[in-house]
Chains A and B, each alone.
Chain A
Amino acid sequence: MIVIAMLLLTLGAGFLLIAAIGVIRLPDPLQRMHSATKAGTLGTALMLGGVMLSGVVEIGWTGLLAMVFLLLTLPVGAQLLGRAAYVSGAPLEGLESDPLEGELERAKPPIEA
């Protein structure tokens, strides 16, 4: 059991590191959002699972609750961030045409800090 817990913890930390590298390396905000939300949430869920299996706490109901909550709110948060990125006129790399052209109002010059 302890070996599985350590494996899950290591995998989770690795996924978090990969997500952070993706946040640095990917070219446009939508792709960065993709890396941060999906790989990041998988990493945190794996780490919480590792804690629950490691036996340091009696029954990790709080950890299970946090995992379920993360997995439930991930799609909603990603959708909201992606929509905000598109609407605020973020540059889209690697697309020939914009499939949402005319569907959503979009800032012409990107809103930058």
Chain B
Amino acid sequence: MNLMAMLTPALSLALVAALCLAGWRMIRGPSFVDRFIAIDMLTAIAVGFAALTTVATGRGVFLDIALGLALINFVATAAFSVFLERKRRDR
């Protein structure tokens, strides 16, 4: 368990770096699709953070949060794609 306590900060640092990179693409991304991809990526990183929090705190509730985030991620991706295709048809 001691080794795990040393590992958790390093892993959260890696995840924070990934979060910053995806967030930069979200801010910068030239088109709508790039922003949607960045949202997808940000949600995946959030699931990773939930998993890491489960290990760090020992509370199983955070796995439920991970499941909820995964569900929301899929619905959001589908909704954004439909929105983009409809936007294209409207023009």
Contacts and interface: CB of A to CB of B under 8 A. Distances in A.
Given A23-B37, A81-B36, A2 B3 contact: yes
B4 A47 contact: no
Interface size class of B (residues with CB under 8 A): 35 or more
A9 B11 contact: yes
Nearest to B58: A56
Main secondary structure of the interface of A (DSSP, over half): helix
Given A36-B41, A54-B55, A65-B67, A16 B33 contact: no
Contacts of B30: 110, 112-113
B66 A63 contact: yes
A70 to B, nearest CB: 5
A110 to B, nearest CB: 6
Interface string B19-43: 1011011000111111111101100
A20 to B, nearest CB: 4
Interface of A: 2, 6, 9-10, 12-14, 16-17, 19-21, 23-24, 29, 32-33, 36-37, 40-41, 43-44, 47-48, 50-51, 54, 56-58, 60, 62-63, 65-66, 69-70, 73, 76-77, 80-81, 83-85, 87-90, 105, 107, 110-113
Interface of B: 1, 3-4, 7, 11, 14-15, 17-19, 21-22, 24-25, 29-38, 40-41, 44-45, 47-48, 51-52, 54-55, 58, 60, 63-64, 66-67, 70-71, 73-74, 77-78, 80-82, 84-85, 87-88, 91
